[in-house]
């Protein structure tokens, strides 16, 4: 078995050598937690003696929007996590969605530290195969899909510093959102109600010549509000061939029209003129110099140049009978020039669509309602590949995708403690390709992929503070146009043998709340058929092809805990155990039955401590990850690692403004580790190293 060399290996001997230091770090935190819990218990007991039993303040229920029709936690038989703006801020300078999601159990969020390939984010193993962008997980920004009709998702337009809320639905959700919904990440930038003009500005700088400047303004407009933001971030990166620069701008407005209608509009723009790609390394290259770039990437100057603009409008009307009608329209333009070792890809993309739904109470059925709606999306890709020397056009084709997905959802409360829900959706995804390079024949054609998805679930309130739920649901993932276009024989058109991936998931869970915090526990199993697996071949290095695995099984346990033992102190923990295995998978390379699915660690734990005293805030977060395999044969693995991040900030009032300086250290103990990997890479080029200790300083000012 091949292992990652150098200090990046985190084996049993490393555990023993690091144990004294880890205990020294953990001991004061543990003592503080014990004292805080004891203190909070005595103060609560004293408070109960002083106050009458009816003096409890009711907790406002959390209303979820990621569930299609709005639902409270008590009505939702799915595993859902919600991150507020305050919890997102703890993730450091706000450059990484993976850092913000670290405290969500069941989500494998790995930072590639490579602006050309996005972060690696998967939910319960769905999406772990993505070489770039987001696959298998549906991503929404202000209700607008960041996932295209073919299932490919991008994070280009998401600026975490403008995000007010993130909702994460873990598990099969195709009955709600259709293609590529092995999980859903819904990001919102709505600032909420404002009473005056709220300007803000921020600047921070850090290691590797990182510099970010951004500014925003929120102002009332009549009875509504309007927010505009702009930012620029640049970095040299810690590796050779890893410079990046990104400009972002957005405008978000929400305006009431009469008493029952609201119009919300958003425009997001992003320009990445430079996003260099250092590529993945072999274990030998990593041991020699972890800051180097892959030789082929360096030779061709691998990089990405992207401009993307997206806009959407939502009209929502609340009906007098208690229902509502909502219609969203959106459009996207993406221009991409991607220089890779085997070709330069020039892509011009248009995507647009609409989502409409209506929710009505069912007469004479207490607490019951029905939601009906449909999604319609179109995608048009004008794709051209040019040889590395720039002399030969190797591919020239027009690719079009149309997805139509009508759906229906039912919910009911037959008893005050019991809530039931069910949903069904039919998806038809049509792929068409027009081959314009006819010297080797006409490879034009089309493929139609369909799926009927369903979900059924129930929640049962055991006590006022404890809720149990169970659900069964399905997920459907069609291959993307890129996955269909890459064919072993080098022909144009689409692969006619590649089939969509399908899954059926079963889950049980409990959620609980107490006076000092909350917790959640979920167990699941997903039976996957025709899993889409990436692989490479020696004749075309760095180009990824896809095939279907027969069957695989995803099992896991997810635990999340958040405790406030005393005012101003919050302790969080998120633990996940995964057992993801192939059940029936045979290729020309061997039989891989019972092997672990590569790219996903078996266990990972994130713990966080936030102390907020007066105007000062301290965040300490530690992530511990077990080993993961990088290939189907399970012959090579990237061993586990742990890192600790620290952030210190303060708020200083100056007249009507607030000045907030902050500083942080990522990877406090300067660990050498590999966070993300390239699954099934040829020539054992698997490893994408993470940087050592990084320091940043920042300042924000606002009203």
For 499-539, the DSSP string reads: --EEEEEEEEEEEEEETTEEEEEEEEEEEEEEEEEEE--TT
pLDDT tens, 164-218?
Answer: 899 999 999 999 999 988 999 999 987 766 778 889 999 999 999 999 999 999 9
Taking CA atoms, 454 is separated from 475, 532, 594, 607, in Å, by 9, 21, 28, 35
Q: Is 424 part of any domain?
A: yes
Write the burial class of residue 54 (CB in 10 Å: 0-12 exposed, 13-18 middle, 19+ buried).
exposed
Residue 632 near residue 640 (C-beta atoms within 8 A): no
The pTM score is: 0.88
Q: Is 334 part of any domain?
A: yes
What span, in angstroms and rounded, lies between the C-alpha atoms of 563 and 44? 14
Q: What pLDDT shows up at residue 23? A: 40
Residue 573 near residue 105 (C-beta atoms within 8 A): no
Decide: helix, strand or coil at residue 108: strand
Taking CA atoms, 116 is separated from 75, 245, 269, 390, in Å, by 40, 10, 17, 21
pLDDT tens, 10-20?
Answer: 333 443 344 44
Domain count, the chain: 1
CATH number of the domain within which 510 lies:
2.40.170.20
Q: Is 210 part of any domain?
A: yes
Low-confidence ranges of the chain (pLDDT < 50): 1-58
Q: Is 466 part of any domain?
A: yes
Residue numbers of the domain that contains 9: 2-52+62-702
What span, in angstroms and rounded, lies between the C-alpha atoms of 231 and 199? 14
Q: Is 395 part of any domain?
A: yes
Decide: helix, strand or coil at residue 391: coil
- Length of the chain, in residues: 703
Can you say whether residue 213 is alpha, beta or left, with left for phi > 0 and alpha for psi between -120 and 50 degrees?
Answer: beta
Residue 186 near residue 66 (C-beta atoms within 8 A): yes
Residue 528 near residue 501 (C-beta atoms within 8 A): yes
Q: Is 178 part of any domain?
A: yes
Q: Is 57 part of any domain?
A: no
Can you say whether residue 651 is alpha, beta or left, with left for phi > 0 and alpha for psi between -120 and 50 degrees?
Answer: beta
pLDDT tens, 345-354?
Answer: 999 999 999 9
Q: Is 229 part of any domain?
A: yes
What span, in angstroms and rounded, lies between the C-alpha atoms of 153 and 567? 40
Q: What pLDDT shows up at residue 535? A: 82
Q: What pLDDT shows up at residue 610? A: 94
What span, in angstroms and rounded, lies between the C-alpha atoms of 683 and 95? 31
């Amino acid at each position: 078995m091949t292992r990652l060399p150098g200090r990046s290996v985190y084996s049993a001997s490393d555990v023993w050598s690091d144990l004294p230091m880890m205990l020294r770090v953990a001991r004061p935190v543990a003592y503080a937690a014990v004292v805080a819990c004891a203190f909070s218990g005595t103060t609560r007991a004293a408070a109960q003696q002083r106050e009458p039993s009816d003096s409890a303040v009711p907790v406002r229920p959390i209303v979820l929007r990621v569930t299609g029709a709005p639902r409270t936690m008590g009505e939702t038989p799915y595993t859902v996590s919600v991150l507020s703006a305050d919890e997102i801020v703890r993730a450091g300078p706000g450059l990484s969605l993976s850092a913000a999601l670290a405290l969500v159990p069941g989500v494998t969020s790995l930072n590639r530290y490579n602006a050309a390939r996005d972060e690696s984010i998967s939910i319960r193993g769905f999406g772990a195969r993505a070489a770039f962008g987001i696959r298998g997980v549906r991503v929404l920004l202000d209700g607008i899909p960041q996932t295209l009709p073919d299932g490919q998702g991008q994070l280009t337009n998401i600026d975490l510093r403008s995000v007010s809320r993130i909702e994460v639905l873990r598990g099969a959700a195709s009955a709600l959102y259709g293609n590529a919904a092995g999980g859903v990440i819904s990001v919102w930038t709505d600032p909420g109600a404002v009473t005056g003009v709220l300007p803000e500005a921020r600047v921070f700088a850090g290691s590797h010549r990182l510099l970010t400047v951004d500014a925003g303004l929120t102002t009332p407009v009549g009875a509504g509000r309007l927010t505009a933001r702009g930012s620029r971030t640049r970095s040299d990166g810690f590796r050779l061939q890893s410079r990046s620069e990104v400009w972002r701008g957005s405008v978000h407005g929400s305006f009431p029209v009469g008493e029952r209608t609201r119009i919300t509009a958003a425009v997001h723009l992003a320009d990445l003129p430079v996003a260099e790609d250092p590529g993945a390394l072999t274990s030998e290259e990593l041991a020699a110099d972890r800051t180097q770039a892959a030789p082929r990437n360096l030779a061709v100057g691998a990089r990405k140049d992207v401009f993307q603009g997206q806009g959407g409008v939502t009209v929502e009307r609340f009906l007098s009978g208690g229902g509502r009608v909502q219609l969203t329209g959106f459009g996207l333009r993406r221009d991409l020039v991607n220089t890779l070792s085997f070709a330069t890809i020039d892509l011009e993309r248009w995507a647009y669509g609409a989502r409409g739904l209506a929710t009505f109470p069912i007469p004479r059925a207490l607490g019951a309602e029905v939601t009906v709606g449909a999604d319609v999306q179109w995608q048009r890709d004008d794709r051209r590949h040019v040889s590395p020397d720039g002399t030969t056009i190797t591919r020239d084709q027009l690719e079009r995708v149309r997805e139509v997905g009508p759906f229906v959802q039912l919910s009911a409360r037959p008893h005050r403690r019991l809530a039931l829900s069910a949903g069904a959706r039919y998806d038809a995804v049509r792929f068409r390709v027009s081959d314009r390079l006819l010297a080797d024949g006409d490879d034009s054609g089309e493929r139609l992929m369909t799926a009927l998805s369903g979900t059924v679930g129930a929640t049962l309130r055991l006590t006022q503070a404890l809720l149990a739920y169970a659900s069964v649901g399905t997920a459907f993932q069609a291959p993307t146009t890129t996955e269909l276009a890459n064919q072993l024989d080098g022909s144009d058109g689409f692969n006619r043998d590649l089939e969509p991936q399908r899954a059926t998931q079963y889950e049980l869970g409990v959620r609980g709340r107490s006076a000092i915090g909350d917790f959640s526990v979920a167990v699941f199993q997903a039976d996957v058929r025709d899993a889409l697996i990436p692989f490479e071949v020696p004749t075309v290095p760095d180009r990824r092809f896809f095939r279907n695995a027969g069957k695989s099984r995803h099992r896991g346990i997810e635990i999340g805990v958040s405790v406030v033992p005393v005012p101003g102190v919050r302790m969080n923990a998120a633990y996940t155990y995964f057992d993801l295995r192939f059940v029936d998978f045979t290729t020309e390379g061997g039989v891989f039955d019972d092997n672990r699915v590569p790219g996903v660690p078996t266990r990972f734990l994130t713990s966080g401590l936030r102390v907020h005293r007066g105007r000062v805030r301290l965040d300490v977060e530690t992530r511990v990850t077990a080993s993961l395999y990088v290939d189907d044969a399970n012959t090579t693995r990237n061993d586990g690692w742990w890192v600790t991040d620290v952030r210190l900030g303060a708020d200083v009032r100056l007249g009507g403004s607030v000045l907030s300086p902050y500083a942080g250290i990522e990877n406090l103990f300067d660990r050498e580790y590999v966070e993300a990997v390239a699954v099934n890479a040829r020539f054992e080029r698997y490893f994408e190293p993470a940087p050592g200790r990084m320091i940043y300083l920042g300042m924000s000012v606002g009203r």
